[in-house]
Amino acid sequence: MEKFAKLTGIAAPMPLVNIDTDMIIPKVFLKTIKRSGLGVNLFDEMRYDRQGNEIADFVLNKPQYREASILVAGDNFGCGSSREHAPWALADFGIKVIVSTSFADIFFNNCFKNGMLPVVLPQDQVDLLMKDAEKGSNARMTVDLERQEITTSDGTVIPFEVDAFKKHCLLNGLDDIGLTLEKVSAIDTFEKSAAQSRPWV
């Protein structure tokens, strides 16, 4: 997993509440087990019409937000089913940080496992970031995980909380497999000891 420490990028405003995982990536695209290639279908039903043409007024289709790496969203983001394809699609599009007042628990944890940072903030601070994001591509935010701060385009600093273990994993690029590999020496020692004490196993 790619390490995450600090990001400066374009923030896209998406004030809709209760954006569920089927809105993020519709079930028709869940046939793959690959993490790549899903970004093109991110928010598919909001992004394209029935003929497959882009809907011009959808935020991520607007020229100023096509390269967005931060999403400022409404309350209860990622609710609905527990599909991990939802964070896969966001990450494949290029979204690295999502800011909201709340997230569905499974989606929230899946973000960390896929190298993304979900940030929970009070409504007034989300509103401030939403307004900053509405300025377009010239208004870039900086998200500093080490310092646990978001800096707006005008220099306003907003601190945020993050679980220490999840922070460690993101800073070091550790998913579940990476965490296991950190213990590879201890695992090898145990296996050698077990083989000597129980050769019949």
Give the CATH number for residue 94.
Answer: 3.20.19.10
Q: Among candidates 52, 54, 41, 43, which has minimal Cα distance to 21?
A: 43
- In a domain, residue 126? The reply is yes
Mean of pLDDT values over 108-129: 97
- In a domain, residue 147? The reply is yes
- In a domain, residue 103? The reply is yes
Query: pLDDT band at 138, cuts 50/70/90?
Result: confident
How many domains does the structure of the chain reveal? 1
Q: What share of the chain is helix, strand, coil (3-state, %, to 5)?
A: 40, 20, 40
The confidence score (pLDDT) of residue 11 equals 98
The mean predicted confidence, pLDDT, of the chain is 91
> Higher pLDDT residue, 174 or 70?
70
- In a domain, residue 71? The reply is yes
- In a domain, residue 64? The reply is yes
pLDDT at 61 exceeding the cut of 70 = yes
The confidence score (pLDDT) of residue 179 equals 58
**Domain housing 86:** 6-197
- In a domain, residue 156? The reply is yes
- In a domain, residue 1? The reply is no
The confidence score (pLDDT) of residue 82 equals 85
pLDDT at 139 exceeding the cut of 70 = yes
- 20-53 pLDDT, tens digit each: 999 999 998 887 777 788 999 999 999 999 999 9
**105: buried, middle or exposed (CB in 10 Å: 19+, 13-18, 0-12)?**
exposed
- 140-195 pLDDT, tens digit each: 999 999 999 999 999 999 999 999 999 999 999 987 656 555 555 666 566 666 66
